Amino acid sequence: MAKETLPPPLNPDEIKKMREVCRLAARTLEHVASYVKVGVSLLELDQIVYDYTLSHGAEPAPLGYHGYPKSICTSVNDVVCHGVPDEYRLRSGDIVNIDVTPKKDGFYGDTSATFLVGEVTPEVAHFVEVARLARDRGIEVVRPGATTGDIGFEINQFVTRHGFTTVKEIGGHGIGRRFHEEPFVPSHGKRGRGPMLLPWRCITVEPMINQGSDEVVEFLIPNSSIKWYRTRDGKLSAQFEHTVLITDTGYEILTIP
Protein backbone atom coordinates (compact mmCIF):
# COMPACT_ATOMS: atom_id res chain seq x y z
CA MET A 1 0.00 0.00 0.00
CA ALA A 2 1.36 3.42 -0.92
CA LYS A 3 2.61 5.68 1.82
CA GLU A 4 0.45 8.48 0.34
CA THR A 5 -2.72 6.74 1.48
CA LEU A 6 -1.70 6.94 5.14
CA PRO A 7 -3.08 9.90 7.11
CA PRO A 8 -0.83 12.89 7.85
CA PRO A 9 0.98 12.86 11.22
CA LEU A 10 -0.85 14.02 14.33
CA ASN A 11 0.29 17.37 15.74
CA PRO A 12 0.94 17.76 19.50
CA ASP A 13 -2.59 19.04 20.17
CA GLU A 14 -4.09 16.10 18.27
CA ILE A 15 -1.84 13.65 20.14
CA LYS A 16 -3.12 15.12 23.41
CA LYS A 17 -6.71 14.56 22.26
CA MET A 18 -5.89 10.97 21.28
CA ARG A 19 -4.31 10.33 24.70
CA GLU A 20 -7.46 11.69 26.37
CA VAL A 21 -10.05 9.77 24.38
CA CYS A 22 -8.00 6.58 24.62
CA ARG A 23 -7.73 6.91 28.40
CA LEU A 24 -11.50 7.33 28.46
CA ALA A 25 -11.86 4.20 26.32
CA ALA A 26 -9.75 2.21 28.79
CA ARG A 27 -11.73 3.53 31.76
CA THR A 28 -14.98 2.72 29.98
CA LEU A 29 -13.84 -0.86 29.45
CA GLU A 30 -12.83 -1.10 33.12
CA HIS A 31 -16.23 0.29 34.15
CA VAL A 32 -18.27 -2.13 32.06
CA ALA A 33 -16.00 -5.01 33.12
CA SER A 34 -17.23 -4.59 36.69
CA TYR A 35 -20.75 -5.50 35.48
CA VAL A 36 -19.72 -8.68 33.66
CA LYS A 37 -21.38 -11.36 35.81
CA VAL A 38 -23.51 -14.45 35.31
CA GLY A 39 -27.02 -13.23 34.42
CA VAL A 40 -26.24 -9.78 33.06
CA SER A 41 -27.66 -9.19 29.58
CA LEU A 42 -25.68 -7.87 26.63
CA LEU A 43 -28.23 -5.05 26.26
CA GLU A 44 -27.59 -4.03 29.89
CA LEU A 45 -23.85 -3.86 29.18
CA ASP A 46 -24.56 -1.74 26.08
CA GLN A 47 -26.67 0.68 28.13
CA ILE A 48 -23.96 0.93 30.81
CA VAL A 49 -21.40 1.99 28.18
CA TYR A 50 -23.83 4.37 26.49
CA ASP A 51 -24.52 6.17 29.80
CA TYR A 52 -20.87 6.22 30.89
CA THR A 53 -19.69 7.58 27.54
CA LEU A 54 -22.24 10.41 27.43
CA SER A 55 -21.59 11.34 31.06
CA HIS A 56 -17.92 11.82 30.14
CA GLY A 57 -18.64 14.24 27.30
CA ALA A 58 -18.08 11.68 24.54
CA GLU A 59 -20.19 9.67 22.12
CA PRO A 60 -20.13 5.94 21.43
CA ALA A 61 -18.67 5.79 17.91
CA PRO A 62 -20.20 2.41 16.95
CA LEU A 63 -23.78 3.75 17.36
CA GLY A 64 -24.96 4.53 13.83
CA TYR A 65 -21.53 3.75 12.30
CA HIS A 66 -22.39 2.37 8.84
CA GLY A 67 -25.81 1.63 10.33
CA TYR A 68 -24.49 -0.35 13.34
CA PRO A 69 -27.36 -0.28 15.89
CA LYS A 70 -25.61 -0.32 19.31
CA SER A 71 -22.88 1.41 21.33
CA ILE A 72 -20.58 -1.59 21.79
CA CYS A 73 -19.79 -4.97 20.29
CA THR A 74 -20.33 -8.01 22.52
CA SER A 75 -18.89 -11.19 21.02
CA VAL A 76 -19.71 -14.34 23.01
CA ASN A 77 -17.89 -17.70 22.66
CA ASP A 78 -17.75 -18.61 18.94
CA VAL A 79 -18.61 -15.05 17.85
CA VAL A 80 -15.39 -13.65 16.39
CA CYS A 81 -16.30 -9.93 16.37
CA HIS A 82 -19.03 -7.30 15.92
CA GLY A 83 -21.55 -9.25 18.00
CA VAL A 84 -24.60 -7.00 18.41
CA PRO A 85 -25.86 -6.75 22.01
CA ASP A 86 -29.23 -8.46 22.50
CA GLU A 87 -31.29 -9.99 25.35
CA TYR A 88 -28.84 -12.87 25.82
CA ARG A 89 -27.78 -13.22 29.48
CA LEU A 90 -24.23 -14.34 30.20
CA ARG A 91 -23.86 -17.85 31.62
CA SER A 92 -21.13 -19.45 33.68
CA GLY A 93 -18.40 -20.75 31.38
CA ASP A 94 -18.98 -18.13 28.66
CA ILE A 95 -16.27 -15.85 27.34
CA VAL A 96 -17.28 -12.41 26.05
CA ASN A 97 -15.29 -9.78 24.20
CA ILE A 98 -16.48 -6.24 24.86
CA ASP A 99 -15.26 -3.64 22.35
CA VAL A 100 -15.68 0.07 23.14
CA THR A 101 -14.86 3.15 21.04
CA PRO A 102 -15.63 6.59 22.46
CA LYS A 103 -15.30 9.63 20.19
CA LYS A 104 -14.35 12.90 21.85
CA ASP A 105 -13.15 16.24 20.41
CA GLY A 106 -13.13 14.62 16.97
CA PHE A 107 -10.85 11.70 17.92
CA TYR A 108 -11.43 8.00 18.52
CA GLY A 109 -10.09 5.56 21.12
CA ASP A 110 -10.65 1.84 20.45
CA THR A 111 -10.05 -0.98 22.94
CA SER A 112 -11.46 -4.38 23.78
CA ALA A 113 -10.91 -7.31 26.10
CA THR A 114 -12.27 -10.82 26.47
CA PHE A 115 -13.74 -11.59 29.89
CA LEU A 116 -14.31 -14.93 31.62
CA VAL A 117 -17.82 -15.40 33.00
CA GLY A 118 -18.33 -17.43 36.20
CA GLU A 119 -16.35 -20.67 36.20
CA VAL A 120 -14.41 -21.42 33.04
CA THR A 121 -12.13 -24.38 32.44
CA PRO A 122 -8.34 -23.88 32.71
CA GLU A 123 -8.12 -24.68 28.98
CA VAL A 124 -10.43 -21.81 28.13
CA ALA A 125 -8.64 -19.42 30.50
CA HIS A 126 -5.33 -20.37 28.84
CA PHE A 127 -6.76 -19.77 25.36
CA VAL A 128 -7.95 -16.29 26.37
CA GLU A 129 -4.56 -15.52 27.94
CA VAL A 130 -2.83 -16.45 24.67
CA ALA A 131 -5.08 -13.93 22.88
CA ARG A 132 -3.99 -11.18 25.30
CA LEU A 133 -0.31 -12.05 24.97
CA ALA A 134 -0.61 -12.24 21.16
CA ARG A 135 -1.85 -8.64 21.13
CA ASP A 136 1.02 -7.60 23.39
CA ARG A 137 3.61 -9.44 21.24
CA GLY A 138 2.31 -7.62 18.18
CA ILE A 139 2.58 -4.25 19.90
CA GLU A 140 6.19 -4.89 20.94
CA VAL A 141 7.45 -4.68 17.36
CA VAL A 142 5.76 -1.31 16.66
CA ARG A 143 8.27 1.39 15.75
CA PRO A 144 8.76 3.75 12.79
CA GLY A 145 10.17 1.80 9.86
CA ALA A 146 8.59 -1.49 10.92
CA THR A 147 5.79 -2.79 8.70
CA THR A 148 2.33 -4.17 9.28
CA GLY A 149 3.73 -7.53 8.15
CA ASP A 150 6.17 -7.46 11.07
CA ILE A 151 3.23 -7.15 13.48
CA GLY A 152 1.26 -9.89 11.75
CA PHE A 153 4.24 -12.24 11.63
CA GLU A 154 4.89 -11.87 15.34
CA ILE A 155 1.26 -12.44 16.27
CA ASN A 156 0.77 -15.44 13.99
CA GLN A 157 4.01 -17.10 15.10
CA PHE A 158 3.08 -16.74 18.77
CA VAL A 159 -0.49 -17.98 18.29
CA THR A 160 0.35 -20.98 16.11
CA ARG A 161 3.13 -22.04 18.51
CA HIS A 162 0.39 -22.36 21.12
CA GLY A 163 -1.70 -24.52 18.79
CA PHE A 164 -4.31 -21.89 17.93
CA THR A 165 -5.05 -19.97 14.72
CA THR A 166 -5.36 -16.32 13.68
CA VAL A 167 -8.29 -14.80 11.80
CA LYS A 168 -6.99 -13.56 8.45
CA GLU A 169 -9.78 -11.44 6.95
CA ILE A 170 -10.36 -8.96 9.80
CA GLY A 171 -7.79 -7.06 11.88
CA GLY A 172 -6.44 -3.79 13.17
CA HIS A 173 -6.48 -0.40 11.50
CA GLY A 174 -5.25 3.14 11.51
CA ILE A 175 -7.29 5.37 13.84
CA GLY A 176 -7.32 9.02 14.88
CA ARG A 177 -9.38 11.62 13.04
CA ARG A 178 -11.39 8.69 11.68
CA PHE A 179 -12.58 5.44 13.31
CA HIS A 180 -11.02 3.25 10.63
CA GLU A 181 -8.27 4.40 8.28
CA GLU A 182 -5.11 3.09 6.64
CA PRO A 183 -3.22 0.89 7.24
CA PHE A 184 -4.87 -2.51 7.71
CA VAL A 185 -3.03 -4.31 10.54
CA PRO A 186 -3.16 -8.07 9.92
CA SER A 187 -2.70 -10.86 12.48
CA HIS A 188 -0.50 -12.84 10.10
CA GLY A 189 2.08 -11.89 7.50
CA LYS A 190 5.69 -11.80 6.47
CA ARG A 191 8.41 -9.68 8.02
CA GLY A 192 9.12 -6.56 5.96
CA ARG A 193 5.88 -6.79 3.98
CA GLY A 194 2.96 -4.40 4.01
CA PRO A 195 2.79 -0.64 4.64
CA MET A 196 5.58 0.94 6.69
CA LEU A 197 4.65 2.39 10.09
CA LEU A 198 5.31 6.14 10.33
CA PRO A 199 5.75 8.26 13.48
CA TRP A 200 2.90 10.18 15.10
CA ARG A 201 0.10 8.05 13.68
CA CYS A 202 -2.08 5.69 15.68
CA ILE A 203 -3.01 2.11 14.86
CA THR A 204 -4.94 -0.59 16.66
CA VAL A 205 -3.49 -4.02 17.32
CA GLU A 206 -6.42 -6.38 17.78
CA PRO A 207 -5.78 -9.98 16.80
CA MET A 208 -8.73 -12.37 16.79
CA ILE A 209 -7.59 -15.90 17.57
CA ASN A 210 -9.48 -19.17 17.21
CA GLN A 211 -9.25 -22.36 19.23
CA GLY A 212 -9.80 -24.47 16.11
CA SER A 213 -9.88 -23.61 12.40
CA ASP A 214 -9.22 -20.04 11.23
CA GLU A 215 -12.31 -20.17 9.01
CA VAL A 216 -15.04 -17.68 9.81
CA VAL A 217 -18.60 -17.24 8.52
CA GLU A 218 -20.04 -13.76 8.06
CA PHE A 219 -23.57 -12.66 8.90
CA LEU A 220 -25.49 -9.51 7.94
CA ILE A 221 -26.63 -6.94 10.49
CA PRO A 222 -30.03 -5.57 9.43
CA ASN A 223 -29.87 -2.05 7.94
CA SER A 224 -26.06 -1.97 8.31
CA SER A 225 -23.08 -2.62 6.07
CA ILE A 226 -21.16 -3.96 9.11
CA LYS A 227 -21.06 -7.74 9.32
CA TRP A 228 -20.65 -9.98 12.33
CA TYR A 229 -18.61 -13.15 12.27
CA ARG A 230 -18.61 -16.59 13.85
CA THR A 231 -16.10 -19.43 13.72
CA ARG A 232 -17.13 -22.00 11.09
CA ASP A 233 -16.38 -24.92 13.42
CA GLY A 234 -18.21 -23.45 16.43
CA LYS A 235 -15.07 -23.42 18.59
CA LEU A 236 -14.09 -20.38 20.65
CA SER A 237 -12.64 -17.09 19.40
CA ALA A 238 -10.99 -14.47 21.63
CA GLN A 239 -9.61 -10.97 21.09
CA PHE A 240 -7.88 -8.10 22.86
CA GLU A 241 -7.34 -4.62 21.39
CA HIS A 242 -5.25 -1.57 22.18
CA THR A 243 -4.87 1.76 20.37
CA VAL A 244 -1.14 2.47 19.99
CA LEU A 245 0.70 5.68 19.06
CA ILE A 246 3.77 5.25 16.85
CA THR A 247 6.39 7.59 18.35
CA ASP A 248 9.75 8.70 16.92
CA THR A 249 11.51 5.74 18.56
CA GLY A 250 8.86 3.11 19.25
CA TYR A 251 5.32 3.06 20.58
CA GLU A 252 3.05 4.29 23.35
CA ILE A 253 -0.03 2.25 24.32
CA LEU A 254 -2.78 4.85 24.67
CA THR A 255 -5.71 2.72 25.88
CA ILE A 256 -4.44 2.40 29.45
CA PRO A 257 -6.58 3.81 32.30
**What are the strands of the beta sheet with 216-220, ordered from one edge?**
79-81, 227-231, 216-220
- Among Co ion, ligand MF3, none, what does residue 68 contact (CB within 5–8 Å per kind)? ligand MF3
- Name the one range near ligand MF3 by CB under 6 A: 60-68, 88-96, 153-161, 189-197: 60-68
Q: Please pick, from the candidates 77, 156, 165, 204, the single residue that binds Co ion as defined by CB under 5 A.
A: 204
CA dihedral 43→49→55→60, nearest 10 degrees, is -100
Integer Cα distance of 60 and 253 in angstroms: 21
Interhelix angle 122-140/148-161, nearest 10 degrees: 160
Binding mask 89-128 for Co ion (x = CB under 5 A): ----------x----------x-x----------------
Least distance in angstroms from the C-beta of 116 to ligand MF3: 20
- Name the one range near ligand MF3 by CB under 6 A: 11-19, 62-70, 139-147, 157-165: 62-70
Least distance in angstroms from the C-beta of 26 to ligand MF3: 14
CA dihedral 19→56→81→164, nearest 10 degrees, is 50
DSSP one-letter code for 220: E
Integer Cα distance of 175 and 138 in angstroms: 17
Closer of 13 and 176 to Co ion (Cβ)? 176
- The residue ranges that bind ligand MF3 (CB under 6 A) are 62, 65, 68, 73, 82, 99, 101, 110, 204, 206, 226, 241
